[in-house]
Amino acid sequence: MLLLLLACTDGPALNAGKPEMVVTPARADFGEVVLGNQSALGMRVRNDGYGDLQFESVALGDGTSLDFAVVAFPEALGHDEEGVLELRYTPDVEGQDFGTVVLTSNDIAAPVLTVELEGMGVLPRIDVDPEVLYFGTVPPGESVTLSTRVTAAGSGDLRITGVGFPGDEGLAYTVGLPDDYAEPYVVTHGFSFPIEITFTPPDESEYVGDLYIESNDPEEPVAAVHLYGNTIDDPTENEPPLVEILDPDNGEYFMDDVAVQMGGYVFDPDEPATNLLCGWFADGTRVDVGDVDPSGIVTGLGLLPVGEVEVTLRCYDSEGLVGEDSAEVTVWPHDEPVVYTLSGGDSVFDWFHIDDDVAITVNGVEVYSDSNHTSDTLPPVEIEAERGDVIGIVATDQNYCDMGIDALVLHWGTGESQALNEAVCDSACADHACYSGSYNGPWPGVYFDEEYTIAIP
């Protein structure tokens, strides 16, 4: 009888009154969230112990972005009970946000549990080039096909949720989309896709309409491509040319000793494009004439002045009416250092992780360091340098048991980048993700020391 009692008391009874807090997943990643929107995420909180789990506090950790918030959490959980820790992320600026939420409870073994938070505020923009398509005069039953291109500008992925005609345009126009098109159609930042529009008039009537493109661009949720087919020129009315710059884009960087290729599109409903007089201007000064082909494509080539420059394409029709479009670019003097951004990814907004310290030099002179002897996720670093300069990166492991550095990318403006090092990750702790079994310090010790020659722009 005694042996039976001992067997019955072995196991759960020995853990009576001891709660055990378990939170899954261990990291809350909200991904990309468009500015002005919010994303909610629920984490499972479970009591695997045999005593009641009581929460003393659930709060954001020190240094956490205020874009994160704790919405709700369970105050107590009994044995094998489960609740939800509800978190919210509402970004107010573009870029990555980091932080932690700290749960304090009566779990004797682990009274404090920290959950890491991460999110990315993005502002996707839709760029449609060209916005106007003129099909000319087409006999009934015959077809003319033109195309436009949709580009994911701004930051983050562009999500296309609808492409179609609002009214009777479908009687004369049809749309051709990529073979893999399915809504929502995700376009990665910086990439684009074509849309083909075919005009097949059933008669000689005038067909003027719009193709609507819906997306997650918060500032322009519905973009339009204006369509003109079988239009009749009215000699009593005259409209100015419709002008659009296709290249360069807003925010691009250039050097003052390199001629910039420029391109645009012009359409005039009253006369052929070849009748128009166009020119390219930089801050009001003409840098090149605008050669116009029969389809309305305008080209140019010219050197731009140093500074923040407004590039303008201006076109006049035969009656003197003018249409224009502008783009803001930055031009650097070729004989002076320029500003580069060192980040942890494909955009200038990506942060990077280091365990534990890092020093960055340009031609042997230190321009940045993180030397607090702790593992950190650091914001992008801006440095002044020139093409041909040498960037040095030295990483030091100070503490047992992890060491690592993310792959770093050097950016010049938003258009050019240069990959530097490959990611490094190792650990002496068997339960860590980067454990290899071969790493054993020393602590402190330099584990990464490399140099890279700047090849951009």
**Interval 206-230 mean pLDDT:** 92
**Residues 140-182: tens digit of each pLDDT:** 999 999 999 999 998 999 999 999 988 766 789 999 999 999 9
**Spatial separation of the C-alpha atoms in residues 98 and 389, rounded to whole Å:** 32
Are 353 and 394 in the same domain?
A: yes
Question: Per-residue confidence at 16, pLDDT binned at 50, 70, 90?
Answer: low
Burial class (CB in 10 A: 0-12, 13-18, 19+), 260: buried
Q: List the one residue out of 177, 298, 178, 318 whose CA is nearest residue 246.
A: 298
Are 245 and 198 in the same domain?
A: no
Is the whole model's pTM more than 0.85, yes or no? no
> Which residues are CB-neighbours of 112 under 8 A, at least 6 positions away?
102, 103, 104
Domain, as residue range, for 36: 17-122
Q: List the one residue out of 435, 285, 414 whose CA is nearest residue 341.
A: 414
Q: List the one residue out of 62, 61, 52, 59 whose CA is nearest residue 73.
A: 59
**Do residues 161 and 126 make contact, with C-beta atoms less than 8 angstroms apart?**
no
Are 128 and 110 in the same domain?
A: no
**Do residues 268 and 298 make contact, with C-beta atoms less than 8 angstroms apart?**
no
Are 241 and 306 in the same domain?
A: yes
Are 83 and 128 in the same domain?
A: no
Are 224 and 127 in the same domain?
A: yes
Are 351 and 431 in the same domain?
A: yes
In a domain, residue 183? The reply is yes
| CA dist 384 → 127, 264, 361, 367 (Å) | 31, 33, 11, 9
Domain with 27 in it: what CATH number? 2.60.40.10
424-427 and 95-105 as β-strands: parallel, antiparallel, unpaired? unpaired
The domain tally of the chain equals 4
**Do residues 93 and 112 make contact, with C-beta atoms less than 8 angstroms apart?**
no
Are 239 and 280 in the same domain?
A: yes
**How many C-beta atoms surround the C-beta of residue 76 within 10 A?**
14
In percent, the amount of the chain with pLDDT more than 90 equals: 75
**Residues 194-203: tens digit of each pLDDT:** 999 999 999 9
